[in-house]
A and B are shown apart, each in its own frame.
Chain A
Amino acid sequence: SAVISQKPSRDICQRGTSLTIQCQVDSQVTMMFWYRQQPGQSLTLIATANQGSEATYESGFVIDKFPISRPNLTFSTLTVSNMSPEDSSIYLCSVSLDSSAGNTIYFGEGSWLTVV
């Protein structure tokens, strides 16, 4: 498995501001993912971040709203820009590690954002 640390763990943000979430992994990983879990909903993939290339965004998510950096194999950031109350969610960083059965995705503890 991997140890995945996220900062901040939780924050209360003003509408219209932006916040950057950091994700640090204790080992080098090729693929990192950012998910969102809105209240009462399932987890939804925002984007895939590979080191050395642009992030790949899922339908409904755009780079202007959720810019991502991936400067090296152990670190990534997700920025939630121009926040509105609808952005209140848990944001989760995850990594893919090979196992004997296939690739397993491990998650950080999440960053709980409340937009007021």
Chain B
Amino acid sequence: DQQVKQNSPSLSVQEGRISILNCDYTNSMFDYFLWYKKYPAEGPTFLISISSIKDKNEDGRFTVFLNKSAKHLSLHIVPSQPGDSAVYFCAASAIFGNEKLTFGTGTRLTIIP
């Protein structure tokens, strides 16, 4: 049972445009959400997080939106740059007493110059 789902295995976006990566979850206990970026042969790099008390968190070019009623979150990258080409993982956990992360299957983002 996949509790965190990234339904788009891949996404191609023109350089300079907005990249939107989507993530859905099924477990209503999840209260804290993170996005990671992963290059081949490297560990995941933390990008941005959001807790359920917010519906938006912004950090530079990265913005995460959370729609708790729809159990949906998205990562917006704008403007997209060639260095953003990587696999992006959405992850979720329950804040209180449980830092274990459940990951989605990832979306491979390719930025076209």
Contacts and interface: CB of A to CB of B under 8 A. Distances in A.
Interface of B: 32, 34, 36, 41-46, 49-51, 57, 89, 91, 93, 95, 99-106
Given A33-B99, A43-B91, A105-B46, 15 more contacts: A31-B99, A33-B100, A42-B89, A42-B103, A42-B105, A43-B44, A43-B103, A92-B44, A103-B32, A103-B93, A104-B49, A105-B34, A105-B101, A107-B45, A110-B42
Contact of A48 (B43, B91, B100): B100
A106 B105 CA distance: 18
B105 A96 contact: no
Interface of A: 1, 4, 6, 10, 31, 33, 41-45, 48, 58, 92, 94, 96, 99, 101-110, 112
B46 A106 contact: yes
Contacts of B45: 107
Contacts of A107: 36, 43-46
Contacts of A99: 49
Majority secondary structure, A binding face: strand
B32 A102 contact: yes
Majority secondary structure, B binding face: strand
Contact of B46 (A1, A6, A10, A44): A1
B43 A101 contact: no
A112 B32 CA distance: 29
B49 A102 contact: yes
B104 A42 contact: yes
B57 A101 contact: yes
Contact of B50 (A4, A101, A105, A110): A101
Contacts of B99: 31, 33, 96, 103, 105
A105 B45 CA distance: 9
Given A1-B46, A43-B44, A112-B41, A104 B100 contact: no
B101 to A, nearest CB: 6
A42 B45 CA distance: 14
Contacts of B102: 45
